Amino acid sequence: MGSERPDENCPRPATATTTAVRVSDGHGTPVTLDGPSVSDIARPGGAVRTRAAGCLAAVAVALAAPPARAFWLLGFSQAETQPQGTAGFIGGTGGQLTVIDGQVSFTAFLAHAGLRVGLLDDLDAGYRLTTVALPYNEGGPTLGSQVDLKLRLTPTGSAWRVAAGADMAYAYLDLAGAQEIAWSPGGYALLTHTLGRKVDGSLEARYTYTVVPHAAAPQAVLHAFGGSAGLEIELGAGAALRPEIGFFDFVGSMVGRPANGWAMQYGAVLSARAW
């Protein structure tokens, strides 16, 4: 499966032209900061400009995607936590297919952006723009916010890493022609393994409970649970590409009707270290 990747706090063996330092991506994943090279040294600020370009590219990808009738259940995360005192950003897009009570809905573009901050050696916090987990053949499009805490349960730099987290999302939405408020608490577990020098693979299990407390009786309640698989591919200078795909089941009711079915989501984000 490839050699084990070193601890993000320990330098890799230097080559003739580069030094390698383990840092973290924008969602708590250890990555390699390759640089500066000889040409970067000869050109002051080269590595800084490369990292800044990565941040701008991630922001541009997130902002370029149009509003969508869908929601994110993919985590775009790994078991490694953000190093204490640092922060990282992710931005990207993807799509979703849902089949809820025989009604099929497809969304080709779905924006995603988030920020993670390292709080302790094994604990970080995240914030991302997201939408609550509702099937949009029932509820109208909505944009909300989600916060989460992630705890790493294994030593940093291990070939196999495990983490667990809890999150809470909040959003306004249109439901049966009325403006409503939705709450969406949930939890997740992550398993990450080193696949190669610049590639990690992750599996995530996730459960989300969504309630619209002010909806017309009976209340709108939905349970979403499933799993996803993703990769982290280092691009250098603190940047990485993270593709992911997942499948989720839905069980519940909305505005007095059953809302049972499944969804498939896919996406990719660019990550970059903010500081």
Res. 156 pLDDT band, cuts 50 70 90 = confident
CB 69 within 8 A of CB 123: no
**How many CA within 13 A on the CB side of residue 184?**
31
pLDDT at 257 exceeding the cut of 50: yes
Instruction: Return d(Cα 79, Cα 157) in angstroms, integer.
Output: 10
Instruction: Return d(Cα 164, Cα 179) in angstroms, integer.
Output: 34
Domain ranges of the chain: 20-273
CB 228 within 8 A of CB 208: no
Report pLDDT digits (tens) over 185-218. Answer: 999 999 999 999 999 999 999 999 988 887 566 5
- Whether the pTM exceeds 0.75: the reply is no
Which CATH code, of 1.10.8, 3.30.1490, 1.10.3470, 2.40.128, is assigned to 20-273? 2.40.128
pLDDT at 81 exceeding the cut of 80: yes
Structure tokens at 197: 């020098």
53 Cβ neighbours under 8 A, 6+ residues apart:
none
Structure tokens at 17: 């032209």
pLDDT of residue 142: 60
Instruction: Return d(Cα 253, Cα 247) in angstroms, integer.
Output: 20
8 Cβ neighbours under 8 A, 6+ residues apart:
22, 23, 24, 30, 31, 80, 83, 156, 157
Res. 238 pLDDT band, cuts 50 70 90 = confident
CB 31 within 8 A of CB 23: yes
Give the distance, in angstroms, between the CA of residue 101 and the centroid of all CA atoms in the same chain. 28
Pick the closest to residue 57 from 49, 67, 66 (CA basis): 49
pLDDT of residue 47: 47
pLDDT of residue 44: 43
Q: What is the mean pLDDT of residues 171-182?
A: 76
